[in-house]
Amino acid sequence: MSTPPILDKTLDELREIAARYPEPRSGLLPMLHLVQSVQGRITPEGIEACAAILDISPAEVSGVATFYTMYKRHGVGDYHVGVCTNTLCAVMGGDAIFERLKDHLDIGNDEVAVQRQGDSKTVSLEHIECNAACDFAPVMMVNWEFMDNQTPDSAVQVVEALRSGHEVSSTRGPKLCTWREAERVLAGFPDGRADEGPTAGEASLAGLRIARERGWTAPDPSEAPAKETGQ
């Protein structure tokens, strides 16, 4: 993957992030996301740029960059695939999905699959911890978008569609963008795609559907005891 240099536009945006906060150093996490969106990973150049803007040492920035798992010191694919192998997803099939993808892509954890002739995009693979979608287990993430209720077969289909450059949509979100584009959103630069995807996935609606069917609601406020406080 290419590693474009950090140009003035990015330096301006890094300063813009720092300026969102009462103390500029608070911007460091999103600033590192922006570095990744431009360079594809955390580079020494990116570390030094952040350090210079925040007037702290590159070692301090490095210390932060190495603490958080979303910061990568080596490149990932255009599409970074995460398979949840925390307990619940693991027993529901996450272990089997992860094994199948490692085998299919012929890579280990946290590696990038070889770009075959004819592949227009690359994928990388990582096992991840609980991503807060347990009611959709087993769960896979692609560039931190939800791919709910996966099977080993569906997971292989997803990575193959991604490698061949086909459009793939999150099961509960938008059309998948690249990892670098997603990192830019995390840096606090919206991509205008919040309105894609449904309000909620099927499992999220389980209780609400029953309540609607049975006419169950929260108590009627007009029947609640009089306000004890206020005006």
Site residues for another protein, 122-161, by CB under 8 A, read 128-138, 141, 143-146, 149, 151
- Closest to another protein by CB, 77 vs 82, is 82
Site for another protein in 176-215 (CB under 8 A): 182, 185-188, 190-191, 193-195, 197, 199-212, 214
> Which one of 1, 15, 16, 29 is in contact with another protein (CB under 8 A)?
29
Whether 77 and 89 have beta carbons less than 8 Å apart is answered as no
Residue 224 binds to another protein (criterion: CB under 8 A): yes
Residue 77 binds to another protein (criterion: CB under 8 A): no
- Closest to another protein by CB, 40 vs 82, is 82
Which residue, among 107, 174, 184, has the nearest Cα to 147 in the 3D structure? 174
Whether 123 and 159 have beta carbons less than 8 Å apart is answered as yes
Residue 114 binds to another protein (criterion: CB under 8 A): no
Residue 168 binds to another protein (criterion: CB under 8 A): no
Whether 4 and 39 have beta carbons less than 8 Å apart is answered as yes
- Closest to another protein by CB, 8 vs 228, is 228
Q: Is the dihedral of CA 129, 1, 36, 179 positive or negative?
A: negative
- Closest to another protein by CB, 105 vs 139, is 139
Beta strands in 120-198 (DSSP E): 123-128, 140-142, 145-147
Residue 52 binds to another protein (criterion: CB under 8 A): no
What is the smallest separation between the CB atom of 143 and another protein, expressed in angstroms? 7
Residue 70 CA neighbour count, 13 Å, CB half: 20
Written as six digits, the tokens of 196 are 């894609």
